[in-house]
Amino acid sequence: MKIKERLFTPGPVPLPPEVIKALGQQIIHHRTPEFTQTFLAVREKLKQLLKTDKAPILFASSGTGAMEASITNFFKKGDRVLVINAGKFGQRWRDLAKTFGLKVIDYEIEWGKTYDKKKIVEITEEFPDIKGILVQHSDTSTTTLHDVDYLAKISKKLKDCILVVDGITSVGVYEVYPEDIGIDVLVTGSQKALMLPPGLSILWYSEKAEDRLKKSNIEKYYFSVLAESKKQEKGQTAYTPAINLIIALNESLKLMLEEGLPQLAKRHEIMALATREALQELGLKLLSQSPSNSATGAYTPEGIDADSFRKVLLKLGFRVAGGQDHLKGKIFRIAHMGYFDVMDMIQVIAGVEFALLKTGVPVELGKGVKKAQQIINQYL
């Protein structure tokens, strides 16, 4: 039977019609007043998104580009940093920091768990010279949320430390206001909660971080924050910008701000809660002990290979993500960020039920859906 394909991966994510329309336009030139006007409008909207007077800068790159810029612009060779390494993207912080000559304290954490506050205190007491704490706010590889408020407090107590947060899958899912929280460098990317195709990354930095820009002795050119910030303040970019993504970002930010940031966060919370509760109702074990609202990961039942299960789900039209590295074949992940609403979650849970039955797991059809409906109904 013919079934539509539905994308439920935690990036790329489905796009809103307004974004698709904006992308499907003839290109305009970037050295024009027309583009500058749009670019400045995007900066204003990004300031609202982050509740700050200081606009972030944009790079034509995927999120990893902005992560690299966070290392190369705000540190000096030999600086000691603490990496909260609790998943695939924690590893990326570590690898980036090492690549550019930083001394890394690699705090490895079991995937699906978050950091231990005591351990953080111990490390920072042992190494008071830490120049930066690098963390994922939400790590989709483990569908885990890491408390950044606590790390901000710790960072402030240290002599000269900045908190660098990968918010690639948290900005737009949560209310992430870096000044309120005490984040010094915040990066995000286009293909997640911003509901755009990949190719655009965003970097915000605090005044404290700004002081470091001129002191940094790490080589960089394309990802030079100083070069870009001077240009971008005037509505231009140092190098060719991702023109159509910026035009589309103007549309997606409009949608997000119109919905309201607290409402946006609440909706993601409800979608995630309904999904988590429904999967557990079906007897599945969640991957994370500190689950993020950007995506939900769950183990398939004993004896069911998660990648085979995902193939069954895909035949039913639902494309979800699998596990990475040692979680490969063990888990599947369903996105909540993207152009989704609560009714989409009902659909994917129904899909999971069909797929479980098809792989021989004796579930009661409708049990998970009912649970999700009961939760959703409280907020309708």
For a second copy, the binding residues (CB under 8 A) are 1-4, 6, 24, 259, 263-264, 266-267, 270, 316-317, 339, 341-344, 346-347, 350-351, 353-354, 357-358, 365-366, 369-370, 373-374, 376-377, 379-380
Question: Taking the C-alpha atoms of 166, 171, 175 and 179 in order, what is their torsion angle to the nearest 10 degrees?
Answer: 50
What is the DSSP-derived secondary structure letter of residue 201? E
* Cα distance between residue 131 and residue 110, in whole Å: 24
Amino acid at 168: I
For residue 338, give the amino acid letter: G
CB 96 within 8 A of CB 244: no
**Closer to a second copy by Cβ: residue 52 or 373:** 373
Minimum distance of a second copy from residue 52's CB (angstroms): 24
* Minimum gap (Å) between residue 346 Cβ and a second copy: 5
Q: Which CB atom, from 68 or from 353, has the smaller least distance to a second copy?
A: 353
Query: Shortest Cβ distance from residue 278 to a second copy (Å)?
Result: 11
CB of 30 to a second copy, least distance (A): 24
According to DSSP H, which parts of 30-159 are helical?
Answer: 33-50, 63-74, 88-99, 117-126, 148-157
CB of 340 to a second copy, least distance (A): 8
* Structure tokens belonging to residue 348: 């994917």
Tokens of 315: 């035949």
Q: Compute the least distance from the CB of residue 279 to a second copy, in Å.
A: 15
Closer CB to a second copy, 110 or 341, in the complex: 341
Q: Which is nearer to a second copy, 26 or 240 (CB)?
A: 26
Residues in the chain: 380
C-alpha 46/C-alpha 90 separation (Å) is 25
* Partners of 135 in the β-ladder: 165
Of the candidates 318, 350, 316, the residue with the CA atom closest to the CA atom of residue 332: 318
- Return the number of the residue (264 or 331) whose C-beta is nearest a second copy: 264
Closer to a second copy at the Cβ: 24 or 33? Answer: 24
Can you say whether residue 61 is alpha, beta or left, with left for phi > 0 and alpha for psi between -120 and 50 degrees?
beta
- Give phi and psi for 273, each to the nearest 5: -60, -45
Closer residue to a second copy in complex, CB, 49/134 = 49
The two three-digit tokens of residue 350, written as one number? 């129904």
Paired tokens of 354: 């069909």
Token pair for residue 1?
């039977």
Q: Which is nearer to a second copy, 79 or 344 (CB)?
A: 344
At its nearest, how many Å lie between a second copy and the CB of residue 258?
9
In the complex, minimum distance from the CB of residue 260 to a second copy, in angstroms, rounded to a whole number? 9
In degrees and rounded to multiples of 5, residue 133 shows phi and psi of: -110, 125
**Is-contact 322 331, C-beta < 8 A?**
yes
Tokens of 43: 């900066």
